[in-house]
């Protein structure tokens, strides 16, 4: 199916709960094996799913299960989950970036014997969605952050490597672009954002530079922001391992998309939407995210109705990091529901 058709098909999907939903049920042929996705399709840069084996081990999805992929991205984890839940399973995929969801929809194609529901919404809506459709989930996966397709699309403004409009919204139909945020915030607000969401040691100097530059002209492009960062961090103090603008771009993106807002409460509500023995697994990529996941899971364990199945967070193998350097900061935590 050509990509444009998939996007049209998606856009025409029926609307439920304020989200766009497109659902497919394909007849079970009895083989139990899902048909593969369309490997020849060109979607631009593919996102390599992180820690797939570890995720499958934690979630242990079985045929007939109801599984939610809360961050469907380009559908990499979803494809692996679909293979395990056929025949008779249901995969519900949430993704708030409509461009990514459209790609996932085409890649996933028509898996045999598995019902797939594509939901264009925030994963914080998962508990409400399940409740309204009278279901609980056997497994829920969140693979937080960005996917490669978003980072490498120069038009999106997520990357310090491409000069582009300073946008960074995952859903470009909602919220304020990064340029508006950086041109209106006070120096203290910018500093707090860089420190809280990026652990940026040079937060104050970068905030000061941004405010100084925008006095003469507003920041409009990614390179405007990169220039502020480079001017603020002395050459000798720059980290060798990562680009000096990495932490700034991460924190602005987290702020623009309100990525951590209400995350702890949302994780609690998702855990309550699990079936008994159901598992919630979360992959995080920076300390701010991981801290929230850790606290949320501790609170759940304290109720004695949930148990952690990753006493220490699991991390990718050395060979995975070598093959896919983007996986290097991944941490996987999972919690199982014990009692109703
Ligand atoms: C790391 S990628 C997931 C990649 C995916 N597991 C795969 O294999 O292709 C994270 C995805 O989650 C989406 N996302 C992040 N926060 C979200 C939220 N609150 N609700 C829905 N989607 C979200 C992003 O748009 C991005 O596509």
Q: Does the complex come out with an ipTM higher than 0.95?
A: yes
Provide the 8-state DSSP code for 289.
Answer: H
Atom 2, ligand 1: which residue's CA is nearest? 147
- The answer to whether the CB of 43 is under 6 A from ligand 1 is no
Sign of CA dihedral 171, 289, 239, 183: positive
State the CATH architecture for 3-145+260-337: 3-Layer(aba) Sandwich (3.40)
Query: Measured in angstroms, how far is the CA atom of residue 78 from the centroid of ligand 1?
Result: 11
The CA-CA-CA angle for residues 73, 77, 82, to 5°, reads: 120
Query: What is the per-residue burial (b if ≥16 Cβ within 10 Å, else e) of 119-147?
Result: bbbbbbbbbebbeeeeebbbbbbbbbbbb
pLDDT score of 21: 53
Beta strand pairing status for 90-94 and 66-69? Answer: parallel
| Residue to mutate (ligand 1; options 93, 147, 174, 324; most atoms within 8 A of CB) | 147
* Tokens representing residue 172 in the block: 């470009």
281: CA distance to ligand 1 center in Å?
Answer: 14
What's the confidence (pLDDT) of residue 44? 60
- What pLDDT shows up at residue 152? 84
Distance CA 13, CA 116 (A): 13
Residue 129 beta carbon below 6 angstroms from any ligand 1 atom: no
Out of 45, 52, 71, mutate this one to test ligand 1's pocket (max ligand atoms within 8 Å of CB): namely 71
Mutual angle of helices 222-232 and 246-256, in 10-degree steps: 130
Q: Could you list the pLDDT tens digit for every one of the 340 residues in the chain?
A: 222 222 222 222 233 333 445 544 332 323 332 333 343 345 565 789 999 999 999 999 999 999 999 999 999 999 999 999 999 999 999 999 999 999 999 999 889 999 999 999 999 999 999 999 999 999 999 999 888 888 888 889 999 999 999 999 998 888 999 999 999 999 999 999 999 999 999 999 999 999 999 999 999 999 999 999 999 999 888 888 889 999 999 999 999 999 999 999 999 999 999 999 999 999 999 989 999 999 999 999 999 999 999 989 999 999 999 999 889 999 999 999 997 7
98 token code pair: 């409509």
Report the alpha-carbon distance of residue 50 to residue 321 in Å, rounded.
9
Residue 41's pLDDT is what? 45
Q: Which atom of ligand 1 is nearest to the CA of 94?
A: 21
- Residues, the chain, total? 340
Ligand 1 site, residue 250, Cβ cutoff 6 A = no
Q: Which residue has the tokens 């860089």?
A: 194
List where CATH 3.40.50.150 sits in the chain: 3-145+260-337
pLDDT tens, residue by residue, 79-97: 999 999 999 999 999 999 9
Decide: 273 and 132 in contact? Cβ < 8 Å: no
Atom 8 of ligand 1 has which residue's CA nearest to it?
Answer: 76
Q: CATH 1.10.150.170: which residues of the chain?
A: 153-256
CA nearest 140: which of 294, 335, 329? 335
Cα 262 to Cα 250: distance, rounded to the nearest angstrom: 18
Pick the CATH number of 153-256 from 1.10.150.170, 3.55.10.10, 1.20.120.1780, 3.40.50.1950: 1.10.150.170
Which region, left, alpha or beta, applies to residue 30 given φ > 0 means left and ψ of -120 to 50 means alpha? left
What's the pLDDT at 272?
97
Output the residue whose Cα is nearest ligand 1's atom 4: 73
* Gap between the Cα atoms of 103 and 325, Å rounded: 23
Q: Is the CB of 111 under 6 A from ligand 1?
A: no
């Amino acid at each position: 199916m050509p990509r444009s058709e998939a996007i049209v098909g998606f856009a025409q999907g029926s609307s439920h709960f304020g989200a766009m939903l497109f659902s497919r049920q394909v007849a079970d042929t009895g083989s139990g094996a899902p048909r593969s996705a369309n490997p020849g399709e060109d979607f631009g840069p593919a996102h390599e799913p992180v820690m797939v084996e570890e995720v499958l081990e934690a979630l242990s999805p079985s045929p007939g299960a109801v599984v939610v992929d809360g961050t469907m991205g380009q559908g990499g984890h979803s494809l692996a989950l679909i293979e395990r839940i056929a025949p008779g399973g249901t995969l519900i995929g949430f993704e708030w970036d409509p461009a990514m969801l459209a790609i996932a929809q085409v890649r996933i194609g028509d898996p045999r014997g598995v019902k797939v529901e594509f939901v264009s919404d925030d994963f914080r809506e998962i508990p409400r969605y399940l409740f309204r459709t009278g279901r609980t989930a056997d497994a829920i996966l969140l693979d937080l952050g960005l996917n490669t397709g978003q980072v490498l699309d120069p038009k999106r403004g997520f990357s310090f490597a491409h000069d582009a409009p300073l946008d960074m919204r995952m859903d470009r139909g909602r919220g304020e672009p990064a340029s508006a945020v950086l041109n209106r915030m006070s120096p203290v607000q910018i500093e707090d954002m860089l420190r809280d969401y990026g652990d940026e040691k040079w937060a104050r100097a970068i905030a000061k530079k941004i405010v100084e530059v925008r006095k003469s002209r507003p920041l409009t492009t990614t390179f405007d922001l990169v220039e502020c960062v480079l001017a603020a961090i002395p050459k000798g103090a720059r980290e060798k391992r990562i680009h000096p603008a990495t932490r700034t771009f991460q924190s602005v993106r987290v702020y623009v998309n309100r990525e951590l807002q209400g995350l702890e409460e949302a994780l609690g509500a998702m855990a309550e939407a699990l079936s008994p023995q159901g598992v919630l697994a979360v992959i995080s990529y920076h300390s701010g995210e991981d801290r929230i996941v850790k606290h949320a899971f501790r609170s759940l364990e304290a109720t004695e109705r949930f148990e952690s199945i990753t006493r220490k967070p699991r991390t990718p193998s050395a060979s995975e990091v070598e093959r896919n350097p983007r996986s290097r900061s991944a941490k996987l935590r999972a919690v199982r529901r014990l009692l109703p």
